């Protein structure tokens, strides 16, 4: 009687798995903090007459974790792709998905920072400052 050997599976690259997991967690943190900061916290701050602002500050601190996660995930995804090409391990799809997902998050972060800088730079030229001029005596 002839026995058949089970098919050999290649090991999945750890960096590819980590990139995908970090990307998913970073996007979940981002979506949760956006929902909290735009929907729940303003109503909570209004209902508690300003006490909810402490919660708002805490959620802003939590929102800073997403860009850090996206940066780490993009680096791990790129490293995983290079290692998979060299060693022939499995997980190329996970590495690509993690890299792209984290790269999209980083691009949105950079665009947001540029938008904030542009808003700050042009706010003074929009005529807003004329309302704050005090009369001279």
Q: Are 131 and 53 in contact (CB under 8 A)?
A: no
CA–centroid distance for 43 within its chain: 25
Percentage of residues of the chain with pLDDT beyond 90: 50
How far are the Cα atoms of 60, 65, 77, 96, 113 from residue 116, in angstroms, in the given order? 15, 18, 28, 30, 5
pTM for the structure as a whole: 0.75
- The token pair at 49 is 């007459």
CA distance 34 to 77: 25
* Greatest Cα pair distance in the chain: 108
- Domain extent listing, the chain: 14-124
pLDDT at 39: 77
For range 84-111, the mean pLDDT: 94
pLDDT digits (tens, 9 = 90+) for 14-32: 999 999 999 999 999 999 8
- The token pair at 40 is 């729940």
CA distance 79 to 16: 8
pLDDT band (50, 70, 90) for residue 130: low
pLDDT at 5: 64
């Amino acid at each position: 009687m002839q026995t058949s050997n089970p098919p050999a599976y290649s090991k999945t690259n750890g960096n590819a798995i980590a990139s995908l997991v970090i990307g998913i967690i970073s996007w979940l943190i981002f979506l949760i903090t956006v929902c909290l900061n735009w929907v729940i916290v303003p109503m909570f701050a209004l209902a508690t007459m300003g006490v909810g602002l402490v919660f708002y500050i805490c959620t802003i601190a939590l929102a800073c974790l997403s860009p850090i996660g996206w940066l780490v995930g993009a680096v791990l995804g790129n490293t995983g792709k290079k290692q998979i090409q060299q060693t022939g391990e499995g997980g190329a799809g996970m590495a690509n998905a993690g890299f792209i997902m984290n790269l999209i998050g980083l691009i949105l972060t950079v665009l947001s920072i540029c938008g904030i800088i542009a808003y700050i730079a042009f706010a003074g030229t929009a005529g807003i400052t004329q309302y704050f001029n005090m009369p001279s005596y």
